[in-house]
Structure 1
């Protein structure tokens, strides 16, 4: 595999914590410690466009597919709903005085993970809170949805992953998954496995239909794993770490294919926080160094 850095997007004044797809394939959004929500065009890294500004760090950003509105999780305040076309806030929801770590959508519901251990379920169309799920006193960090089994998984800072029913929202299973905080989780594209990772630098695979039995435990990085993401064609898995590297894995065998770092590829010099695949051969990475890098992958 050949990995080539093709662009760098700069302009944020603080670490970039999260990325989200745009309304078209040539666009994406970014935000982070400076509260600036920026829209970028992949072919014009010099043309970042500020579409919203919130007065606190943002860890969670999610585009609601039903109406093309962007949900911004402002720490200690709640949700700001932005119309990217008009570049203005069209609604807000005062959810919490806690930090917001993740937002995921399923049908017309939004699942919001908070630093006080609560997962809030919101009617995404009416912007009404439906339920609070309090299963831990420590942060809910990451949410993954499995429509096949009608479940969703939440990774927490108490080292545990909890499985909930997607319809009734009842707690179904508790998995003592890691030896430290679980920062990122995701189902494999075929929904056979749940992947979990976090501060202990291990990447773990749990077989869904075998009651989430542990299948693989990979010592994947030197330091905390901040994010994992599958490529759109389900062939590759990428992991991003506080050790400043991105690693590319075969998504069938989970064999390591490539290490993308500063020494070999002019990678990031600080923690890599978030990944975003824009197509099967292109991966974006956001970092504490205030930049977003664009990587082209080829065989």
Structure 2
């Protein structure tokens, strides 16, 4: 595999914590410590377009595919719903005084992971809070939804992954997954496996059909794994780490294919916080160094 850096996007004044795709395949959104939500064109790194500014850092950004509205999770304040076409805030919800770490959509619901251990379930159309799920006193960090098994998984800072029923929201299973905080989780594209990672730098694969039995445990990075994400064609897996590197894995065998770092690829100089695949051969990475890199894989 050949990986080359083809562009760098700069302009944020603070670390970048979130990337999100757009309805248009040649555009994407970013935000982070400066509270600025920026829309970028992949072919014009010099043309960042400010969509919104909120007065606190943002860890969670999510596009509602049903209506094209962008949800911005402002720490300690709540949700801002932005129309990216009009660049206006169309609604807001003072959901919490906690930090917001993740937002995921399923049908008309949004699932919001909060630093006080709550997962808030919000009606995405009416923007009203339907339910609070409090299963831990420590942060809910990452959410993954499995429509096949009608479950959703939540990774927490108490080292545990909890599985909930997607319809009744009942707690179904508790997995003592890691030796430290769980930062990122994702179901495989076929929903047969749940992947988890976090501060202990291990990547773990759990077999969903075997009651989440541990299938594989990989010492994947030197320091915390901040994000993991599958490519759109389901063939590759990418992990981003506090060790400043990105690693590309075979999504079937979990064999390491490539290490993308500063020494070999002019990669990031500090923690890599978020990844976004724009197509099967193009990966974006966002960092504490306030830049977004565009990587071509061939």
> Which TM-score band applies after superposition, normalised by the shorter structure?
over 0.9
TM superposition shift of 1:29: 0.1
Task: State the match for 2:109 in structure 1.
Answer: 109
Task: State the match for 1:176 in structure 2.
Answer: 176
Distance in structure 1 (CA, Å) of the matches to 2:65 and 2:231: 19
Distance in structure 1 (CA, Å) of the matches to 2:252 and 2:22: 28
**Structure 1: 5+ residue stretches without partners:** none
Task: State the match for 1:223 in structure 2.
Answer: 223
Distance in structure 1 (CA, Å) of the matches to 2:128 and 2:77: 16
**Structure 2: 5+ residue stretches without partners:** none
Distance in structure 2 (CA, Å) of the matches to 1:150 and 1:41: 36
Distance in structure 2 (CA, Å) of the matches to 1:13 and 1:96: 26
TM norm structure 2: 1.00
Distance in structure 1 (CA, Å) of the matches to 2:142 and 2:48: 28
Distance in structure 2 (CA, Å) of the matches to 1:155 and 1:109: 19
1:59 aligns with 2:59: yes
Give SS of 1:264's match. helix
Task: State the match for 1:45 in structure 2.
Answer: 45
Task: State the match for 1:22 in structure 2.
Answer: 22
TM alignment of 1:227-238, pairs within 5 A: 227-238=227-238
Task: State the match for 1:12 in structure 2.
Answer: 12
Task: State the match for 2:69 in structure 1.
Answer: 69
Give SS of 1:209's match. helix
TM superposition shift of 1:23: 1.6
Distance in structure 2 (CA, Å) of the matches to 1:123 and 1:40: 29
TM superposition shift of 1:227: 0.1
1:242 aligns with 2:245: no
TM alignment of 1:1-299, pairs within 5 A: 1-298=1-298
TM norm structure 1: 1.00
Tell me the C-alpha RMSD between the 2 structures. 0.3
Distance in structure 2 (CA, Å) of the matches to 1:184 and 1:51: 27
TM superposition shift of 1:13: 0.1
TM superposition shift of 1:188: 0.3
Q: Deviations over 1:149-183 (max 9, x none)?
A: 00000000000000000000000000000000000
Distance in structure 2 (CA, Å) of the matches to 1:217 and 1:259: 19
TM superposition shift of 1:10: 0.1
Distance in structure 2 (CA, Å) of the matches to 1:23 and 1:93: 23
Distance in structure 1 (CA, Å) of the matches to 2:109 and 2:27: 25
Q: Deviations over 1:201-259 (max 9, x none)?
A: 00000000000000000000000000000000000000000000000000000000000
Structure 1 outlier segments of 4+, above 3 Å: none
Work out the number of aligned pairs and report it: 298
Give SS of 2:209's match. helix
Distance in structure 1 (CA, Å) of the matches to 2:51 and 2:23: 13
Q: Deviations over 1:30-79 (max 9, x none)?
A: 00000000000000000000000000000000000111000000000000
Distance in structure 2 (CA, Å) of the matches to 1:23 and 1:9: 20
